[in-house]
Every structure is written in structure tokens, then in C-alpha cells.
């Protein structure tokens, strides 16, 4: 099997629509806290949705594991389903009987993954004691794959170190490829690079070894732009899911406000978004009409206010997407749960944003409606409750 150039879009669809499937799973367990721990003697009978700074799985999850972690996800136990994670760091030391999909700064697999491994991030590693039964697809700055892989290896890496066993083919785009140990490849070993790979004499290949010309620079730039958009969509979806997990009642109210009064929400949100620009114009006008001697004191007063307001609007814009994607999710699937609506709406927003011209509608509509909906929701509801420090199951 050869990985298509649209592999990143495939990853986006997988992450979102697996979450979409979970919208029907009302029995799934949801845990949100600073630290989430599933102890060794604990069995989670269904899917587990977990968010926090740290998520530690020492026990058993008999469904899928969907995690958003500010710091790390560590799986030391057993997951019968698949793992979908957005985190700074992901470590798989136990056993995952499904697939593993991660968007993380670093992903490290020391345990076993029975199906596929898909990694997007700065680093993706499969250590010598680790194994993957299916394909491995890595989009990362650096990657070391020295374990046992039952399927194919693909993706884009700046630096790739290879060893171990690959049951299928290797087809990668790299700057440098080094064979750091004995490597057995069942099929062809193909790599795109302007540098010859090092250590090719250590390869036992069932096919041919081929070096291809690197892709042209303009294609790389477009690919990087698409990748940047993709990661932004996934990370903003993670934020929306964290908000929904931590403040479900408030998110429901904001989504309902967006449904009932979209025009009013749009107007309020637009006013908030343009407020720094309006204040800057007012300050510019005052500085022009004020005496020269008063300009510097006025600037000293106005500039911190403009900076503070701009920072506030930027922070609000990060969480603004939740009501908008809940609204879209419920329009597409009226019976979806809150988390399912976030997943469905985020998938639609993400796919639209990736389109060349139509994508401009995303910031123009989603941000103002989202911010305005939060304002309307705050008027109607009480303040959110504080999250628990640690959740142990």
C-alpha cells in the first residue's frame, strides 16, 4: 500500500469522525480534571473521554480512548479499542488493540499497537521493544522507527532513523535517512531526498531500494500551509472539546443562544472583535488633534489599554468556536450529544476552512457568532463551577 498525498486530510477525517461516532455512545465515561488516573485495578467498560493536564491509563479501557491533555497521555495498561490523543506528549507503554492517532509534540511507542499508528507532531518514535501490527504514518520533524512494523511506513520527516522489521514497503519524504541498525523490509524501500541515505548496506529488502527527486519548493510550501491549517483546526477543536468537557452547561447555553439569536450573537461578537481597532483609531485621532506636549502622556495611557484589549479579544477568540460548532453540529445532526455536536461542527468548519476561497467564511462567521453567543449565555446563566483537581477512577 502507498500512502496518498492527502494523508493529512485523512487523519483529520479520522480524528473528527471517530469522535462523531461517539456522539451516540451515551454510556461512554467522561472524566475531566487536572490529573486523570485510571488505576491498575479499574476497568472502564465503554469508551473513555478524558481531558486534563495529565491523563494516566494504568488499568483497562474496553472501548476507545479519546484524550485531550495539556501535558501528557501515558498508557501503561490495556485499551481494547483505539486511542485518539491531542497532547504535548504521548507515551504508549502498554497494549492498544486498535489504532493510535496522535497530534502531539512527541509520541513514543514502547508497547504494542495491533493496528495502525498515525503521528502528527515534532517527534514520532517507535522503540526497539515496540511493535505496530499495521501501517505507520508519521508527519514529524524527527522520527526514529526501530521496532517491528507489520505494514507499510510512510509520511514526511526531516530526519528519519530506521531499523528493525517492516513487513510491507517504506515510502517516505525526508531530508536525511539513516539506517541505524539491521533493517528487514518486505517490499520496496523508496525515499525522496537530495541526499543519499546512510547505512543502506544494512538493509535486507524483498524489493528494490529507490531514491527519488525531492518535491519542488512550491509544492512543499503548499503542503506546509495545508499542514499548518490542519494542525490549527485540530488544536482549536481540542480547545472546543476541553471547554465542552469542563463547562458542559455553559457550552449548552452558548450553543442554544447561537441557535436562537444568530444575528444578535454575530453583532455582539463583531463589536468585540473590532473594538481594539476602533480604540486604536480613536487614539490616533486624539493624538492628531491634541497638543504635541500632551501626545506622549496620552500614548502612555492609551497603548497599554489597546494592548490589553487586543490580548483579551485574542484569548476570547480561541474559545469562541465552541458555540458555533455546537450550532453547526446540531443543525447537521439534531440528536447529537454536546461532544458529538462539537466533533461534527468542528469537522465541517475544518473542511470548509481548507477550501481556497470558501474558507474565508470561517473566521468571518464562526468567531463573531461564537463570541456573541458566550456574551448572551453569560447574561442568562451562572458562573461555571471550578474543576476538580484530580480525578481517579
Q: Where are the domains of the chain?
A: 7-214, 247-380
Per residue in 108-164, pLDDT tens?
A: 999 999 999 999 888 999 999 999 999 999 988 899 999 999 999 999 888 999 999
Report whether 8 contacts 232 (CB < 8 A): no
Which residue in this structure is represented by grid cell 446563566? 381
Distance CA 126, CA 146 (A): 6
Query: Could you report the average pLDDT of every consecutive run of 10 residues in the chain (393 residues)?
Result: 39 42 53 85 91 89 88 94 90 96 91 94 93 94 95 93 96 93 95 92 93 68 63 73 81 88 91 88 78 69 81 80 86 78 79 77 86 86 47 65
CB neighbourhood size of 391 (10 A): 18
Per residue in 220-275, pLDDT tens?
A: 556 656 666 666 776 777 778 778 877 888 888 898 888 888 899 999 999 988 98
pTM above 0.85, yes or no: no
Q: Residues 83-116, buried b or exposed e (16+ Cβ, 10 A)?
A: bbbbbbbbbbbbbbebbbbbbbebbbbbbbbbbb
Identify the CA nearest to 36 among candidates 15, 61, 16, 63: 61
To 10 degrees, the CA torsion angle through 202, 206, 210, 214? -90
Distance CA 344, CA 237 (A): 10
Distance CA 289, CA 45 (A): 70
Q: Which helix (H) or strand (E) holds 66?
A: strand 65-75
Residues whose CB is less than 8 angstroms from the CB of residue 95 and which lie 6 or more positions away in sequence, other chains included: 77, 78, 79, 111, 112, 114
Amino acid at each position: 500500500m502507498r500512502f496518498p498525498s492527502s494523508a493529512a486530510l485523512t487523519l483529520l477525517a479520522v480524528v473528527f469522525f471517530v469522535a462523531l461516532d461517539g456522539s451516540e455512545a451515551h454510556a461512554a465515561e467522561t472524566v475531566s480534571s487536572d490529573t486523570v488516573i485510571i488505576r491498575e485495578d479499574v476497568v472502564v467498560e465503554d469508551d473513555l473521554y478524558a481531558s486534563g493536564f495529565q491523563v494516566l491509563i494504568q488499568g483497562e479501557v474496553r472501548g476507545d480512548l479519546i484524550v485531550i491533555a495539556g501535558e501528557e497521555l501515558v498508557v501503561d495498561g490495556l485499551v481494547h479499542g483505539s486511542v485518539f490523543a491531542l497532547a504535548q506528549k504521548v507515551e504508549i507503554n502498554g497494549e492498544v488493540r486498535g489504532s493510535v492517532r496522535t497530534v502531539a509534540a512527541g509520541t513514543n511507542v514502547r508497547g504494542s499497537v495491533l493496528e495502525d499508528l498515525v503521528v502528527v507532531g515534532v517527534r514520532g518514535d517507535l522503540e526497539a521493544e515496540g511493535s505496530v501490527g499495521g501501517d505507520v504514518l508519521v508527519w514529524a520533524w524527527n522520527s526514529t522507527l526501530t521496532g517491528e512494523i507489520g505494514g507499510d511506513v510512510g509520511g514526511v520527516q526531516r530526519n528519519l532513523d530506521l531499523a528493525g522489521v517492516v513487513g510491507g514497503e517504506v515510502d517516505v519524504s525526508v531530508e536525511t535517512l539513516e539506517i541505524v541498525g539491521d533493517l528487514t523490509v518486505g517490499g520496496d524501500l523508496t525515499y525522496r531526498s537530495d541526499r543519499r541515505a546512510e547505512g543502506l548496506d544494512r538493509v535486507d529488502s524483498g524489493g528494490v531500494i529507490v531514491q527519488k527527486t525531492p518535491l519542488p519548493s512550491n509544492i512543499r510550501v503548499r503542503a506546509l500551509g495545508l499542514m499548518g491549517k490542519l494542525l490549527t483546526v485540530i488544536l482549536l477543536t481540542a480547545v472546543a472539546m476541553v471547554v465542552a468537557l469542563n463547562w458542559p452547561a455553559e457550552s449548552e447555553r452558548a450553543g442554544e443562544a447561537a441557535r436562537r439569536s444568530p444575528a444578535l450573537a454575530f453583532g455582539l461578537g463583531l463589536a468585540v472583535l473590532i473594538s481594539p481597532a476602533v480604540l486604536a483609531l480613536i487614539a490616533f485621532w486624539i493624538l492628531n488633534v491634541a497638543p504635541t506636549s500632551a501626545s506622549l502622556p496620552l500614548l502612555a495611557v492609551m497603548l497599554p489599554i489597546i494592548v490589553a484589549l487586543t490580548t483579551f479579544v485574542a484569548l476570547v477568540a480561541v474559545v469562541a468556536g465552541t458555540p458555533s460548532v455546537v450550532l453547526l453540529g446540531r443543525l447537521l445532526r439534531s440528536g447529537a450529544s454536546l461532544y458529538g455536536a462539537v466533533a461534527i461542527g468542528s469537522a465541517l468548519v475544518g473542511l470548509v476552512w481548507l477550501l481556497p476561497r470558501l474558507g474565508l467564511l470561517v473566521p468571518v462567521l464562526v468567531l463573531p457568532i461564537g463570541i456573541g453567543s458566550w456574551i448572551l449565555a453569560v447574561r442568562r446563566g451562572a458562573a461555571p463551577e471550578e474543576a476538580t483537581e484530580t480525578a481517579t477512577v
